[in-house]
Amino acid sequence: MCMEFLRITLLVLLCFICDPAAAFLQQYVGVRGRLMCGKLPLPDTTVTLWDDNVIASDVLLAATKTDRNGRFELEGGTSALFTMDVRLKVNHNCNEKRFSLGCDDNRKVKP
């Protein structure tokens, strides 16, 4: 019994050594929406989804451009040891204001 447990433990450890990504959590996030500048849609606007890391470099999860109606949809994921800190970044020309959006623990978008 003890020998069998030892074999299983060693096998699991070997899997993590041979495939370090298996030790990390696979995490996914998706966002869709519509960008407006006042009452007008923002077409052809770059929208990016980032994992905002404190220690390492930020990770680009997905990128797209809005359609003619300002609509967009992004999905992305990464393997990480810690929970993702997701940021939605928009490069636009709407009254020259800059902003980025993130998600709190309740997964509600906050400015």
Q: Is residue 104 situated within a structural domain? A: yes
DSSP state of 55: S
Angstrom distance (rounded) from CA 39 to CA 92: 15
Q: Average pLDDT of 40-53? A: 88
Give me the chain's average pLDDT, please: 74
Q: How many domains does the chain have?
A: 1
Segment (H or E) for 81: none
DSSP letters for 89-100: EEE--STT---E
Q: Is residue 38 situated within a structural domain? A: yes
Tell me which residue range forms the domain holding 71: 24-110
Q: Is residue 15 situated within a structural domain? A: no
Q: Is residue 83 situated within a structural domain? A: yes
Q: Answer whether residue 111 shows pLDDT above 50.
A: no
Q: How many CA atoms lie within 13 A of 97 on its CB side?
A: 8
Q: Answer whether residue 99 shows pLDDT above 70.
A: no
CATH code (residue 84): 2.60.40.3330
The pTM of this model reads 0.65
pLDDT for residue 98: 61
**Cβ atoms within 10 Å of 66's Cβ, excluding its own:** 21
Token pair, residue 2, equals 């003890």
Q: Is residue 94 situated within a structural domain? A: yes
